[in-house]
């Protein structure tokens, strides 16, 4: 079973994450940031993963530490869950529409972390989540999961829709990439 459980405690956050990559989309998520919980739930459900994510962060400061650190721990949990379960399909991509918005994600479990982020938001916040934290979450997740991640909002008007299209595209790309494969997809023989 491809599962991982991690905790991380700093002076700014206290985070517990449990992931099952072979789940059924069960989400038990509480970060203290409602819109972020909504995005993580979409990631879980659309990826077919099981997530338990419990976060206590210094929200009196702002949402930055909570969101970035959640990305660190969730990315690390994905990397750990896959560490001894190769080979996988490795690559995944998805276009996801959300009403008038269209999001795209392409990724590679390459062991070479990188993020390309191309999305513009017209509002500073969606609920209690700063829109600039979407990029920070994706960067923390990608670098700790050790994936190359390209994410783009091709068009859209409503920031909620644009963000949700990105998270759902990420979910579908991850779901495809972590599927077991018959052989390691690498000309080097290792990732």
Tell me the per-residue pLDDT of 109-132, one tens digit each, with 9 for 90 and over.
Answer: 999 999 999 999 999 999 999 999
Q: How much is the pLDDT for 1?
A: 77
Report which secondary-structure segment, H or E, holds 18: strand 13-20
Q: How much is the pLDDT for 84?
A: 82
Contact 93, 173 (CB under 8 A): yes
Which domains are present in the chain? 3-177 (3.30.230.40)
Tokens of 27: 């989400």
C-alpha distances out from residue 12 to 56, 68, 117, Å? 8, 11, 26
Q: How much is the pLDDT for 181?
A: 87
Count of CB atoms situated within 10 Å of the CB of 117: 16
Q: How much is the pLDDT for 182?
A: 78
| pTM of the predicted structure, to 2 decimals | 0.95
Alpha carbons 126 and 128: distance in angstroms, whole number:
6
């Amino acid at each position: 079973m491809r599962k991982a459980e991690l905790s991380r405690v700093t002076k700014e956050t206290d985070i517990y994450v449990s992931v099952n990559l072979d789940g059924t989309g069960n989400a038990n998520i509480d970060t203290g940031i409602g819109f972020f919980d909504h995005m993580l739930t979409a990631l879980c459900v659309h990826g077919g993963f099981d997530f338990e994510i419990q976060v206590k962060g210094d929200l009196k400061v702002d949402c930055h530490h909570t969101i970035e650190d959640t990305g660190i721990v969730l990315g690390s949990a994905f990397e750990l869950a896959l560490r001894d379960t190769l080979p996988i399909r490795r690559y995944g991509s998805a276009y996801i529409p959300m009403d008038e918005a269209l999001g795209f994600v392409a990724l590679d479990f390459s062991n070479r972390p990188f993020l390309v982020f191309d999305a513009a938001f017209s509002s500073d916040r969606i609920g209690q989540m700063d829109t600039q934290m979407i990029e920070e979450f994706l960067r923390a997740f990608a670098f700790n999961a050790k994936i190359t991640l390209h994410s783009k909002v091709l068009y859209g008007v409503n920031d909620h829709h644009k963000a949700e299209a990105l998270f759902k595209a990420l979910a579908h790309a991850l779901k495809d990439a972590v599927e077991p494969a018959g052989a390691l997809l690498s000309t080097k023989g290792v990732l």
